[in-house]
Amino acid sequence: MSALIYNMPRKWQKEGKVRGVALSKKRFQFIFDHEHDLVDVLEKRVHTFNDWALAIDRWVEKPPVDFLQFIPIWVQIRNMPLNYYTKEAITALGDLTGEVKVVVFDPERPQVRDYVRVQIRFDVSRPLRKSKVVNLQEGGSSIVYFNYERIQKRCYECQRLNHEKDVCPLLVKQRKEVALDRRQRRLGELSFSEPIIGKDDPLYGILREDQVDACKAT
């Protein structure tokens, strides 16, 4: 957090014009000297620090329930079906990733890129969608791909923006379940093992039969 407070003004080219405050280990606030600097930063949309996306918005005295829950993201939609280059189809595909706010498409102008762009209002608690299989009216299907501009780090297991793969809750839960299953199998094996000491054991004749058993707890 301290590195973020020191480095973001430099990244915004606003050194000496803004002061950062660490509110917690996950939240911060920047106080600008001038309104136009604040507006300039907000208009740059997606902000990142250490390659992680930041949720930034203008502070209000009574923030709504979903404050800092959404960020604007530009999405590149690739491999569009040839007969579906319409604003309606592009909007429908963009809505699969978030609420579409802007569609950059003009059927009267040349399309020089192999993708179309939309700006969405993205809920940061949701995973990023990488692709979508689209069933075509004339039959068959096509896979449409989504690329998110300026989004770098993410969890490559669940595609969420707030943690890395090593600490993904899905993988942590999976590892716990595997460990629990292994432990239960081991306990099952111990419960079926013969608790009586055999004649070839050096403790045979020293311990009584009722003193030999498997510890179910360990």
Task: Give the start-to-end residue ranges of the domains of the chain.
Answer: 2-44, 70-152, 169-211
Q: What pLDDT score does 205 carry?
A: 78
* 193 pLDDT above the threshold of 60: no
Rounded to whole angstroms, how far apart are CA atoms 180 and 21? 44
* Range from 60-64, 127-131, 165-169, 189-193 carrying the lowest mean pLDDT: 189-193
pLDDT at position 93: 93
pLDDT at residue 213 greater than cutoff 90: no
Residue (of 44, 46, 20) closest to 33 by Cα position? 20
Query: Quick one: average pLDDT of 139-156?
Result: 90
Confidence of residue 38 (pLDDT cuts 50, 70, 90): very high
What are 92-146's pLDDT values in tens digits?
A: 999 999 999 999 998 888 888 899 999 999 999 899 999 999 888 877 888 999 9
**pLDDT top residue among 204 and 147:** 147
The predicted structure's pLDDT at residue 195: 58
Measured distance CA(21)–CA(29) in Å, rounded? 5
pLDDT digits (tens, 9 = 90+) for 46-85: 888 988 999 999 999 999 998 999 999 999 999 988 888 8
206 vs 188: CA distance, rounded Å: 28
Closest CA to 95 of 144, 142, 157: 144
Yes or no: say if 77 and 92 are a contact pair by the CB < 8 Å rule.
Answer: no
Rounded to an integer, what distance in angstroms lies between the CA atom of residue 163 and that of residue 168?
A: 7
* Residues ≥6 apart with Cβ < 8 Å to 41: 12, 14, 30, 32, 47, 56
pTM (2 d.p.): 0.72
pLDDT band at 23 (very low <50, low <70, confident <90, very high): very high
Name the average pLDDT for the chain: 88
Q: What pLDDT is attached to residue 216?
A: 66
Rounded Cα gap, residues 213 and 218, in angstroms: 12
200 phi and psi angles, rounded to 5 deg: -85, 0
Cβ burial of 49 (10 Å; 0-12, 13-18, 19+) is: middle
Return the percentage of the chain with pLDDT > 70, whole number. Answer: 94
Residue 192's pLDDT is what? 58
- Return the pLDDT at 218: 67
What is the pLDDT at residue 96?
Answer: 94
